[in-house]
Structures are given as C-alpha cells and as structure tokens.
Amino acid sequence: NAGVTQTPKFQVLKTGQSMTLQCAQDMNHEYMSWYRQDPGMGLRLIHYSVGAGITDQGEVPNGYNVSRSTTEDFPLRLLSAAPSQTSVYFCASSYLTGGVYNEQFFGPGTRLTVL
Amino acid sequence: ILNVEQSPQSLHVQEGDSTNFTCSFPSSNFYALHWYRWETAKSPEALFVMTLNGDEKKKGRISATLNTKEGYSYLYIKGSQPEDSATYLCAFDNGNNRLAFGKGNQVVVIP
C-alpha cells in the first residue's frame, strides 16, 4: 500500500492564482481531512469528509474548496491564492471502529508559498 | 474551537534521562485522545489512540496515561535517546468528526 499520497510536494503561486492540491489514499478509509501547519500553531483543520459525496468545514475553511467524488481522492482547491495561505498542507485519512475514529494516517505534505 | 493545551512547549533532555509532558483537553463530550510523533521534515505518525478513562498505553520506551474526568493525558519517555527528538502532538476527539490538535511538545535530546 502507498498509504496517503500528496502532490505536489512544493508549489509557488502568485497572489490571485488558483490551484488544486491532490490527495489520494489506497486504504479504503472513510474519513479524509486537510490540515495546514503554520509556525507556532498546531495543525488546523481546513475541511474534512466522512465518505464519498460528503464534505464539511473545519476550523479554517475560508479560501478553500474540497470535493469527494470517490473514496480514494480528496483534492483541496485554492480559489484565489493569498500570501496568508503560505503554509504546509497535510492530508490525512482514518477509519471508524466502534463509532470512534482510529489514528490518522498523514501524507508527506505540500509546502506552498504564495508571493 | 476546542482548547487543547500542551505543556511545556519545548524541553531539552539529557540522553538517558526520563521526561514527561502534559496534554489538557475539555473534560466533556470525550470520545478519544490521540498522540502523534512528528519528526522534522516528516509527517506525523500515530503513537496512541486512547478512549477509556484510566487507559495506559506503551510503545517501547514511550507510554501515555489518560484522565478523562479531569481532562488531561501524560506522555512519558523513559531513558531518552537522540532518536526521540521530535514534536509530540496530542489531539482531542469529541465525536464531531473533527480532531483538535494542540501546538505540540518539542523535545530535544542532548547526547
């Protein structure tokens, strides 16, 4: 199993550009999520999905869109990039056991710089 | 926004010494408490998922305890080694499908 994969690993954008960060998992996990990591902050949840066709907002959703058309894929779209979106982005997946989510499996991260 | 606090924020430990740090979380609507280990330039990796008050879990020299009634968990490292240098994250699950992460405990083990 490849686990959770993310592309690209690095990206530089200009203010106002749009792009999609890709995330895929091959573990058949129901739950997928996107976090951003900024210096001095914990991991902050952007959006999450509990299954194909279902998405919801996390703590910091503004400026981002997601979709979940398949169990495997959960892309994150930046609509109009801003310097405040410079960050490291992590995708993660998990699965339910007895009504509780198990540990999250994280992808390798995407380092995004917006100029 | 759920308040998950980790202390101390950073600590330096001499090789061979034992250490511990704390994660505080809301004591209501508890579902689970996660601990992750995060090495520089890598992704967080799960250490423990704890669900029951009084839980104690162990992986090698690292162990964790859980008190859901008072809202805290301790992570212990016994006989610290340089490879234990990492940031340790805790995350609180209150059953709303969202994990709330603390800012982490950064551990540097000095050889």
DSSP assignment, residue A47?
E
Contact, B85 vs B62, CB < 8 A? Answer: no
B37-94 tens-digit pLDDT: 999 889 999 999 999 999 999 999 999 999 999 999 999 999 999 999 999 999 999 8
A7-45 tens-digit pLDDT: 999 999 999 999 999 999 999 999 999 999 998 888 999
Phi and psi based region of residue B27 (left: phi greater than 0; alpha: psi -120 to 50; beta: remaining) = alpha
How far apart, in whole angstroms, are the C-alpha atoms of residue B71 and residue A4? 31
Asked if A43 and B44 come within 8 Å (Cβ–Cβ), the reply is yes
Q: How many angstroms separate the CA of residue A47 from the nearest CA in chain B? A: 9
B101 touches chain A (CB under 8 A): yes
Q: How many angstroms separate the CA of residue B27 from the nearest CA in chain A? A: 17
The CA-based angle A13-B42-A71, given to 5 degrees, is 75
Neighbour-count burial of B69, counting CB atoms closer than 10 A to its CB (0-12 exposed, 13-18 middle, 19+ buried): exposed
Contact, A93 vs A104, CB < 8 A? Answer: yes
Residue A85 DSSP SS3: helix
Percent of chain B with pLDDT over 70: 99
| Residue B66: predicted pLDDT | 98
Residue A104 — φ and ψ, nearest 5°?
A: -85, 140
Residue type, A87: S
Q: Which of residues 43-102 of A touch B (CB under 8 A)?
A: 43-45, 48, 50, 56, 58-59, 90, 100-102
A56-106 tens-digit pLDDT: 999 999 999 999 999 999 999 999 999 999 999 999 999 988 878 889 999
| Residue B1: predicted pLDDT | 66
